[in-house]
Structure 1
Amino acid sequence: MSITGVPAPDAATRHREQERPASIVVVGAGLAGAQTVAALRRHGFDGRVTLVGAEKTLPYDRPPLSKELVTRAEPAWLSDELDVDVLTLADDVRLAESAVGLELLEDGVVVRTRRTASAHDTDDTISADAVVLACGARAVRPTAWPDALVLYTASDAAALRQRLASAHRLVVVGAGWIGAEVAGVVAASGTAVTVVEAAPEPLAGQLGADVGALTRQWYADAGITLLTGVTVGGVDATGVVLADGTRLPADVVLAAVGAVPATAWLRGTLPLTARGAVPVGPTGSLEVGGAVGGPTLSERAATRMWAVGDCADRRTDRFGVVAGAHWTGALTHPEAVACAITGHPAPPESAPYVFSDQLGHHLTVVGTPEPDAEVVHRGSPGGPDGWTTLWVRRPTDGAAADVRELLAVLTVDRPRDVGPARRLLAGSRPPMIDVLRACDPAVPLKASVVGPAPSV
């Protein structure tokens, strides 16, 4: 099958048709890029590896940027957190150097880069047999909000922290993961915080409005003013103006309205999805079933590239298309990419996993909540012992009335359910559970499974 683009050969076909690369350039020096370099070496790749990163810092973990914004002055280095030292693992590490162009050739790839110095820009090219795109994402800041700050990089965190040091009032636009985390830690430091959200409830886009509403009281408990169902008309140096003309004075405004793949430099070179991500299969190879047009590439040229992490929309056999921005995707998917490149069997797929520390509570989401799924609770939402929310679906095969397929799990201050949820949802098909037993917090989650537990 041809695409406006490329067919999607499996790993075995790819390796029959081309020799394995002897040199690889990894574009992106975040978690996904660093993990790719480490996985390649772990699986025996002894060729030349070049790592290119737009930031001037060595690889670090992004979640602490918001979760520990006030208490951590420097990044959580991956060399310490995961024992991944790219300076040792890669042959050439180029920091503060942005990729600005890509050519996929029949016999290799060429990455064009640009280093911005104080006086002038320096352009260069890197030639290799293959490329792994791990170029991540960038925070969204509406062009009409030049006075708003964003939070995605270590330099963003440093700038926000510096501004907050003398601030008395913070307005956060967006009550998603980042907005809630920043609001909580800043309010705890004594700064007055207002959060503005266009959706009817916090986390509505991530969890649905009904489940997101369960977090509303947390804002009041933290002394934060939460305004939902309202839109922002403008941002200036003195605060935020809502669409109805209401002014919210602020010393600092944070736009926490999402992130988009950092793939603008690839437009016209690769087919991209509607949100601008690189469409890939389970092992990170280019697939364009979800692309919205793009150039036509030869099959051989297409097999010269992989993509991983926040810049990729990955088709999985178990969960369908999983968008980037899942922390565990950047952590674990490089293993599959490295296996494909080196000819090793692909590892089992893990379930998408997100965690958040916000407003005095710890949340994890395992799997992919579906808007039309049935929602049930394990334990009492808002209770002192935490709770777990389950997204379930009635099977189509005439199962018993209380049997459901388990699709996703949210845990709130209930860490004992996290491990079982991850194991159950890592199987090749949704586990079948007795929903009445699953909703009883005294019954171990695994004990609610009907029939054999899913194979992992």
Structure 2
Amino acid sequence: MSSAGQHPARVVVVGGGLAGLRTLAELRDQGYGGELVWIGAETVPPYDRPPLSKELLSRLEPLDLAEDLGHDPAALADAVHLGRSATGLRREADWVVETDAGDVLADAVVVATGSAPVRPWPAASALHDLADAERLRERLRPGRHLVVVGAGWIGAEVAGVAAAAGCRVTVLEAGSWPLWRQLGDAGRRTRAWYAEAGVELRTDVVVTSVEDGTVVLDDGSTVAGDVVLAAVGVRPRTGWLGDAVPLLPTGHVATSRGGRTAVPGVWAVGDVATRDTVHFGAVPGGHWFSALRDPALLAADLLGLPLPAVEPAPEVFSDQLGHHLEVVGRLVADDEPGAARLLRAPRDGGWSELQLVGDVLVGAVVADWPREVSMVRKLLRGESLPRLDTTRAADPTAPLRSAVLP
């Protein structure tokens, strides 16, 4: 590392996706003039991943993120190594990033290696990258039976797309309702969407194995399909770090607001990081907005610049089964002191479930209500979180802003 008060002479960004690309751009935009090296495991330039599930059958070519965002990797980085996987990290006189094509020296390292799908059953398909999407797209045809294991974000999105294209779709969920891990009780409100979209949803069923298109359940019964998709979550791709950086039990790297890890000279961003925030505690990455926005904070931190006093609230979005769903801020836990949830459901079909601690708004789950999403974003971006008149907020005909207490 360079001496105190100076920027590191060489920064190596490991990860060829959106978080890595945005880190390169933010470092240059914020004045970094040293050497930048970019390493990515995939051989293709970074592309937008959400459409892989949301538009699986309609978007045949991926959106080139560099072109879409106006970032030229060749101009940003002094060296670009796509198709080169990081295999280890060790500290000598400098940091050494070990790769399958040799070692790369660094004064500072940014870990942005994303996540990998959980694959409990080798015979089942997964959907995480461009190659997965191409293989799945080739196998889905009208009249074929798709069995999806998992009613989370990806499972619901693919189920809706496949059903709309004429596939028979069955979704198997171990929990008692969809999105129970992601949304808690609010996930119950999405159950009806499956039947409306022509998708069979079976809950409280546990898959024990998948063999040759046959899904075996823990009661011994089976479900046969032409295609089986395992959509049971992802894990941060941090195994390559070994003992160089401490990991949380989830596999994430804990960081400060600016992405700084507990190890000097190493930052982390995107899916791999659980980042501290102004109002919402430690928030794990794993979603598009964290990969898009958080590199700006990381670049400022790495360069010793002040971080902004406020930042956008964490946000997750999903287009599934003919509906648009957003989570802004954080969800309250059932056992959290003062936790409350307040449903706003106007007659037009959209709804929001406000997340409160006492009378303080900390987040919301919003379905099919763009104005509500926009207002929640604004309210959660201030220097302090807003207090609400909960009686006023319970009236879905009243704009949410009118419920904010002075």
User: The TM-score by the shorter chain falls in which range?
Assistant: over 0.9
* Cα offsets for 1:275-333 (capped at 9, x unmatched): 1111111111113xxxxxxxxxxxxxx32110000011112231111012132111111
Match of 2:183 among 201, 207, 216: 207
The 1:167/1:260 distance shift into structure 2, 3 A limit, reads farther
- Whole-Å separation in 2 of the counterparts to 1:167 and 1:342: 56
- RMSD, aligned α-carbons: 1.7
* Residue in structure 1 matched with residue 293 of structure 2 by the alignment: 332
Q: Classify the secondary structure of the residue corresponding to 2:87.
A: strand
- Whole-Å separation in 1 of the counterparts to 2:2 and 2:298: 13
Match of 1:110 among 79, 90, 96: 96
- Whole-Å separation in 1 of the counterparts to 2:365 and 2:231: 22
The 5 A counterparts of 1:44-55 are 44-55=31-42
Contact map agreement 1:186 1:193 (CA 8 A) in 2: yes
What amino acid is aligned across from residue 28 of structure 1 in structure 2?
Answer: G
- Structure 1 segments, 4+ long, off by >4 Å, are none
- Whole-Å separation in 2 of the counterparts to 1:37 and 1:252: 39
Contact map agreement 2:332 2:357 (CA 8 A) in 1: no
Matched, 1:356 2:356: no
Return the offset for 1:166: 7.6
Matched, 1:226 2:198: no
Structure 1 unmatched ranges of 5 or more: 1-13, 115-122, 288-301, 395-403, 452-456
Match of 1:126 among 78, 81, 104: 104
Contact map agreement 1:134 1:308 (CA 8 A) in 2: yes
Return the offset for 1:15: 9.5
Report the number of matched residues: 401
- Whole-Å separation in 2 of the counterparts to 1:439 and 1:67: 32
Matched, 1:387 2:374: no
What amino acid is aligned across from residue 130 of structure 2 in structure 1?
Answer: A
Match of 1:323 among 268, 278, 284: 284
Contact map agreement 2:254 2:275 (CA 8 A) in 1: yes
* Cα offsets for 1:197-253 (capped at 9, x unmatched): 111100111111x31111111100111110011100210112211111121111111
Return the offset for 1:376: 1.3
Contact map agreement 1:27 1:131 (CA 8 A) in 2: yes
What amino acid is aligned across from residue 223 of structure 1 in structure 2?
Answer: G
What amino acid is aligned across from residue 58 of structure 1 in structure 2?
Answer: P
Q: Classify the secondary structure of the residue corresponding to 1:218.
A: helix
- Whole-Å separation in 2 of the counterparts to 1:58 and 1:70: 21
- Whole-Å separation in 1 of the counterparts to 2:378 and 2:136: 38
Q: Classify the secondary structure of the residue corresponding to 1:233.
A: strand
Contact map agreement 2:2 2:8 (CA 8 A) in 1: no
- Whole-Å separation in 1 of the counterparts to 2:242 and 2:384: 35
The 1:110/1:15 distance shift into structure 2, 3 A limit, reads closer
Match of 2:215 among 240, 247, 250: 240
What amino acid is aligned across from residue 341 of structure 2 in structure 1?
Answer: V
Contact map agreement 1:171 1:239 (CA 8 A) in 2: no
- Whole-Å separation in 2 of the counterparts to 1:59 and 1:189: 28
* Residue in structure 2 matched with residue 140 of structure 1 by the alignment: 118
Q: Classify the secondary structure of the residue corresponding to 2:135.
A: helix
- Whole-Å separation in 2 of the counterparts to 1:322 and 1:437: 30
* Residue in structure 2 matched with residue 412 of structure 1 by the alignment: 367
* Residue in structure 1 matched with residue 84 of structure 2 by the alignment: 97
Contact map agreement 1:108 1:304 (CA 8 A) in 2: no
* Cα offsets for 1:249-281 (capped at 9, x unmatched): 111111100000101111222110001111111
- Whole-Å separation in 2 of the counterparts to 1:314 and 1:15: 25
Out of 312-321 and 125-134, give the one that drifted further.
312-321
TM norm structure 2: 0.95
- Whole-Å separation in 1 of the counterparts to 2:170 and 2:386: 41
Structure 2 unmatched ranges of 5 or more: none
* Residue in structure 1 matched with residue 69 of structure 2 by the alignment: 82
The 1:426/1:410 distance shift into structure 2, 3 A limit, reads same
Percent of paired sites with the same residue: 48
Contact map agreement 2:152 2:231 (CA 8 A) in 1: yes
Matched, 1:249 2:236: no
Q: Classify the secondary structure of the residue corresponding to 1:61.
A: coil
Q: Classify the secondary structure of the residue corresponding to 1:149.
A: coil
Return the offset for 1:85: 2.4
TM norm structure 1: 0.85
What amino acid is aligned across from residue 438 of structure 1 in structure 2?
Answer: A
Return the offset for 1:153: 0.9
What amino acid is aligned across from residue 36 of structure 1 in structure 2?
Answer: T
Q: Classify the secondary structure of the residue corresponding to 2:366.
A: strand
Return the offset for 1:192: 0.3
Contact map agreement 1:27 1:132 (CA 8 A) in 2: yes
Matched, 1:191 2:180: no
- Whole-Å separation in 2 of the counterparts to 1:314 and 1:203: 23
* Cα offsets for 1:126-184 (capped at 9, x unmatched): 11211100011100011xx1110111111111111112248701000000111100000
